[in-house]
Chain A
């Protein structure tokens, strides 16, 4: 059955069938809504955006025998009277005003038992709109462990609507909730709609709480003790950097061997493909298909680990603390603390960084962050930087005790990070300006996360990656392979050794034609057509630049083309016969790689996360202008300094 349902969730539109009951989960952030959602829908959730806007949406069918109930996890909100465009989406969906999104038949209001007093104002708003509602009270275990008290059946009587208690970490009460959601028609409704503001609301809230025998929890002493350290001006900062260091260590140290394993697996497959007698078919299958799938899947371990960590930090409660510590720094760019984690993730890869912006509540902040993230020095740039730095700086060069190549590399990372923050600030100060939306962030108590919820969140991200991003990487790799290897020249390459043959084919391929065609664009930067072909190859993933350049310059080992490149000379034009990789050209190329958005996967995930082509186009354009302009400037400065 599981496999069957899985297929249902995968096919788009399956969850939008009209005759099913639609139940929306409404609640404040941190109320445990997502955990309840994950319990109800398991792996059958679909994540995306609401039509036309950059606000995340999760929809899934309920598991456990009631497949005709569709559950929608609305963005977390403290109130139904919106103060931001994002919250407007919630109230629009509830009112059935959002185009393309049917209004829910009933609302399950997820409220945290430890903050029940405050949550009742949201409950009142939802009830006052005339919706059919039920309460899902979470954290009841935490309430009693912290000395609080709540009578759920008395609460139900006082509110006049059904109430179910749920413990997210263990899944206790989920079955009762499932039964309730399967039978929306029988829900009791309140006799009089509650007041939504003023003293009437205070009166109602107090009376309902008294009737439910509610006594609030004590402040969580364990959380207070932990916070005394983790938010301490000195220790808090130390721990913060330690956590971030560990975060990176795990991504690189743990993911790298896994990625190597995936790579090795695909290399084996490619080796098998080489047995195919027809050379073109062998190349197509081995390098095109297997290489394409491999290029995509090699990212998977890193993406899954990154999301595992983000999801863990989030559900433990540390993410709010990190955001709290970094808020002041991020505020300088007009963003808020929560953008920091995305920025950090992008040092690994912009794709998960962009996906992690979902934790940022304001869509303007989200878009500004997404626009700036591709400038962060991702790990795919590293091989390119290492190759080019090697061409630029002689081995053994040093600045005092420091290795000169290391210094240049560090400078490139710094340049990327700094540029990213400046760009974010510029976007926030202009197109994405936003004065009104107030900043507030709850500091939830530290909690042991539900492993199930953490894993489901990780899997959801992996699915997004596999469905949307992997396809793009695969397609780009295939197309590029075809461009680089067609047309075939069996007659001309007759009798050549393999390296010469590859180079000959490449030199006369469609890609070479494109390279020659775009040569005038990059000529002012000193790039010849072979570099242009390399830039073309880098579209599937930046590190492919290295091997493409290796092939086109007839390197014996295309993966280590430094020797061949240092000898490369212009084959035509004004500079015919001169060396291509002069310091000004290499510097220009480095700067170009710092700024250019030449990564199809990033563009694809931007399209998905911003829900339009507009922002990816903006990103590609502004980054190309920056890359070209700054590379040009860098080239001339270098020339001036070297007196060349």
Chain B
């Protein structure tokens, strides 16, 4: 499944980052790399964007970008 489908409060393991190479590379620079654990923290009141936590920091992505990240529920 993709990261955008991860429910708030759930954890997952990133297995791949797809999409436009430039975008995938950027997501990797942000810390979304295969083998990293990510947790979905909360969605904005109107459903988008969503805050994710990676190791020791949090950042938010829109549904479109989170859809490039393939995860495995942990």
Contacts and interface: CB of A to CB of B under 8 A. Distances in A.
Say if the two chains contact directly (CB < 8 Å): yes
Interface of A: 78-79, 81, 83, 114-115, 117-118, 121-122, 146, 148, 197, 202, 216-219, 227, 231, 233-234, 236-237, 324-325, 327-329, 331, 436, 438-443
A440 B61 contact: yes
B5 interface: no
Given A231-B42, A438-B23, A440-B65, 11 more contacts: A79-B26, A115-B56, A118-B29, A118-B54, A202-B35, A324-B60, A329-B46, A331-B62, A436-B23, A438-B26, A439-B65
A553 B26 CA distance: 63
Interface in B43-69: 44-49, 51, 53-62, 64-65
B56 A440 contact: no
Contacts of A441: 49, 59-60
A78 B51 contact: no
Nearest to A81: B25
17 contacts: A121-B28, A197-B25, A216-B55, A218-B56, A219-B53, A219-B58, A325-B44, A327-B44, A328-B45, A328-B48, A436-B22, A439-B61, A440-B60, A441-B60, A442-B59, A443-B51, A443-B58
Q: Which 3 A-B pairs have the closest CB atoms?
A: A79-B29, A328-B46, A233-B45
Given A83-B23, A436-B23, A443-B60, A327 B48 contact: yes
A633 B28 CA distance: 53
Contact of A236 (B45, B47, B59): B45
A331 B30 CA distance: 22
Interface of B: 20, 22-23, 25-31, 33, 35, 41-42, 44-49, 51, 53-62, 64-65
Which of B27, B33, B49, B55 has its CB near the most chain A CB atoms (within 10 A)?
Answer: B49
A79 B45 contact: no
Contacts of B35: 202
Nearest to B47: A328
Contacts of B64: 438-439
A440 B48 contact: no
Contacts of A216: 55-56
Contacts of A219: 53, 56, 58
Contacts, number: 105
Nearest to A121: B29
Contacts of A114: 56-57
Given A231-B42, A236-B45, A438 B27 contact: yes
A112 to B, nearest CB: 8
A204 to B, nearest CB: 13
B59 to A, nearest CB: 5
Contact of B20 (A148, A197, A436, A443): A436
Contact of B22 (A83, A117, A217): A83
Contacts of B53: 219
Contacts of A329: 46
A439 B56 contact: no
A77 to B, nearest CB: 9
A214 to B, nearest CB: 11
A471 B26 CA distance: 42
Contacts of B54: 118
Given A216-B55, A324-B51, A328-B46, A197 B28 contact: yes
B7 to A, nearest CB: 15
B58 A83 contact: no
A570 B25 CA distance: 68
A442 to B, nearest CB: 5
B49 A442 contact: no
Contacts of A115: 31, 56-57
A331 B48 contact: yes
B61 to A, nearest CB: 5
A325 B33 CA distance: 27
A146 B56 CA distance: 10
A440 B59 contact: yes
A244 to B, nearest CB: 15
Given A440-B60, A443-B58, A443-B59, A324 B44 contact: yes
A118 B35 CA distance: 14
Contacts of B31: 115, 117-118
Nearest to B43: A233
A586 B48 CA distance: 43
A404 B73 CA distance: 59
B45 A237 contact: yes
A81 B62 CA distance: 21
A217 to B, nearest CB: 5
Contacts of B51: 227, 231, 324, 443
Contacts of A233: 45
Contacts of A202: 33, 35
Contacts of B20: 436
A471 B55 CA distance: 50
A117 B47 contact: no
A158 to B, nearest CB: 19
A237 B51 CA distance: 16
Nearest to B20: A436
A236 B30 CA distance: 26
